[in-house]
Chain A
């Protein structure tokens, strides 16, 4: 089943103009993933997660009243308008105002002066020094040690970890790491929940992970293609179907390499506000490797670390962090997990998501994070239509 599933998806990705929705097989449409969107090489299937039968099924003879009664569907629609769990995942949390009274206000003003007038310049200085040290050693290492691959890789690894530590220092990152530090060995991938690009920096300062990341524009993109490439990071463009295939291939090649840096994947595929986890893409879970979950929980006491990429550029996000008192967070390296016999990659992904959500104390929601960028495919609606049609037809026969 799995084999067939993925191959049908790839072929569809090649010719993604086909509207594959018409050929849904009624008896087993939960498993056969056929959507026309080009984004979903490893898009999980919503139906596998949503509770089945949200509309209670009436029984007995069909009357006009039952027929005209569209209230369950309307109620669902109105419920979604009033509140929906998807939007909540990506809501920035405004800071709790505490400067509201006359005694606290001067104190707050004093804090602002310190944060912007003292802390911020100091941090900019720290970061600049960091960059100078980093560049002045990275460039020679990169070009002079061409012949000594092993040594060069090791040096570059250390330097990338170093610059990340400077970044963490630049927002006074108070990070508590729990559990064993990752070691380098083949056939394992690390997966973590994703709140902001700083997740990557925080994890990178301890271990030089190779990460799968979306290609960014601007200076971040420049860093990606020059420096991070050297630790084996893999880039893709979210909207390019061809990229996804290449990434899938690179992934498989990377995990078997002995001397490669450990692989880090954020299977949510998008930043979530650290109160919720959205569905994990199954890509990381079908490599046949040991999956080591990492849970990251930010403490919002000083600043909200959620990067709302639609509202804020990454530079603004960093400035916000650099003008706050501190970024406080906990990182847990959790028990490695393997695919159990008889478990599908989706079930495996869900199990790992469970482990991470429980440890970090965040809620699971049955949504695909990519819905931020695209509309849900028509098959979700078809599922509802099918159950409606079936119930009508069944009741017609009953009489």
Chain B
């Protein structure tokens, strides 16, 4: 009559903790493991895109398709690492890095005008026209001192977000 938590030894948990820079406590990792097993219906050791989409709240998210590219097929360690950016203990830099990765869909280390446009398209769907989106985007880019042709690097993101806090926290329920 063992529950999922007892399958993880101290070693396992510490290994996962190392992997996410000790951002999660042992308790939190046990909770996340239970959740991971719950989502991994077929017990394959990773969560497929389809299994993520079985969570309606996730499937309804405008960015779900984009996020799926990042989380599809994650094993437990990477699953925890992905979520660690949402911890209250994660650094501002780590959070910005994650946001950057969402924009940088081709993973070439820079974000072009079109990359941002695509995200904007996911977020606004059919409720803004292509012209509107382009117009808005060129305008804000210009005001911030960039142009249509410029690429934004991670450092630019850090600069743009500046010191003001980023509210991006998800609490892991521990029972």
Q: Hey, which bits of chain A sit against chain B, CB under 8 A?
A: 22, 62-65, 67-87, 91, 94-95, 97, 99-100, 367, 371, 375-376, 380-382, 384-386, 388-390, 392-393, 396
Contacts and interface: CB of A to CB of B under 8 A. Distances in A.
A68 B103 contact: yes
B3 A70 contact: no
Contacts of B139: 396
Contacts of A86: 55-57
Contacts of B57: 76, 79-80, 84-86
Interface string B75-109: 00000000100100000000100110011000000
A85 B141 CA distance: 39
Given A73-B123, A78-B86, A384-B60, A68 B38 contact: no
A392 B171 CA distance: 29
B40 to A, nearest CB: 12
B26 to A, nearest CB: 16
Contact of A385 (B125, B157, B172): B125
Given A67-B137, A75-B86, A385-B125, A80 B58 contact: yes
A87 B59 CA distance: 13
Interface in B28-59: 32, 35, 38-39, 52-59
Contacts of B132: 393
A64 B127 contact: no
A104 to B, nearest CB: 12
Contact of B140 (A62, A99, A375, A382): A62
Given A65-B160, A78-B83, A375 B53 contact: yes
Contacts of A388: 62, 123-124, 127
Interface of B: 1, 3, 32, 35, 38-39, 52-64, 67, 71, 83, 86, 95, 98-99, 102-103, 116, 119-120, 123-128, 132, 136-137, 139-141, 143-144, 146, 157, 160-162, 164, 166-173
B143 A63 contact: yes
B128 to A, nearest CB: 5
A310 to B, nearest CB: 9
A64 B160 contact: yes
Contact of A70 (B99, B141, B146, B162): B99
8 contacts: A62-B140, A74-B67, A74-B168, A76-B57, A77-B63, A376-B56, A381-B60, A385-B123
A385 B56 contact: no
Max chain B CB contacts within 10 Å: which of A67, A380, A396? A67
B170 A64 contact: no
A375 B99 contact: no
Given A87-B54, A384-B62, 12 more contacts: A22-B126, A67-B116, A67-B136, A77-B63, A77-B64, A78-B170, A86-B56, A91-B38, A384-B60, A384-B61, A385-B62, A388-B124
A29 to B, nearest CB: 11
A82 B3 contact: no
B52 to A, nearest CB: 7
Contacts of B172: 82-83
Contacts of B128: 389, 392-393
A82 B35 CA distance: 7
Contacts of B38: 87, 91
Contacts of A87: 38-39, 54-55
A305 to B, nearest CB: 19
A7 B166 CA distance: 47
Contacts of A73: 61-63, 123
A29 B149 CA distance: 38
Contacts of A62: 136, 140
Q: Considering the complex of A and B, which 7 residue pairs feature the smallest CB-CB distances, nearest first?
A: A385-B125, A389-B127, A80-B57, A64-B144, A97-B1, A389-B124, A71-B168
A72 B83 contact: no
B67 to A, nearest CB: 6
Contacts of B67: 74, 77
Contacts of A77: 58, 61, 63-64, 67
A388 B127 CA distance: 9
Given A67-B140, A76-B61, A83 B169 contact: no
B24 to A, nearest CB: 11
Max chain B CB contacts within 10 Å: which of A68, A73, A371? A68
A381 B120 CA distance: 14
Max chain B CB contacts within 10 Å: which of A69, A71, A388? A71
Contact of B102 (A74, A97, A376): A74
Contact of B141 (A64, A74, A80, A396): A64
Contacts of B140: 62-64, 67
Contacts of A70: 63, 99, 102, 119, 123
Contacts of B54: 87
Contact of B55 (A74, A80, A392): A80
A85 to B, nearest CB: 8
